[in-house]
Amino acid sequence: MNTDIKNLEPQVIWSNFAKLNAVPRASKKEDEVIQFMMDFGQNLGLETLKDKAGNVIIKKPATQGMENRKTTVLQSHLDMVHQKNNDTEFDFETQGINMYVDGDWVKADGTTLGADNGLGVATIMAILESNDIPHPPLEALFTIDEETGMTGAKELDDSILDGEILLNLDTEEDDEIGIGCAGGVDISATRFYIEESVPENSSAYKIIVNGLNGGHSGMDIIKGLGNANKLMNRLLFSAYEQVHSRVASIQGGGLRNAIPRESVAVLIVENKHKNELFSTIEKISEAIKTEYASLEPNLNISISECETPKKVMSSDVQDAFLKSIYAAHNGVYRMSPDIDGLVETSNNIAKISVDNGKIEVLCLTRSSVESTKDDLANSLRSAFDLAGFQVELSGDYPGWAPNPDSDILKVVDQIYKTQNNEQAHVAACHAGLECGILGSHYPNMDMISFGPTIRGAHSPDERASISSTQKFWKLTLEVLKQIPLK
Is 462 an active-site residue?
no
Q: Judge whether 355 counts as a catalytic residue.
A: no
Of 51, 116, 145, 146, the catalytic one is: 146
Q: Of the candidates 422, 421, 417, 412, which has an alpha carbon nearest to the alpha carbon of residue 479?
A: 412
> What residues are annotated to the active site?
79, 146
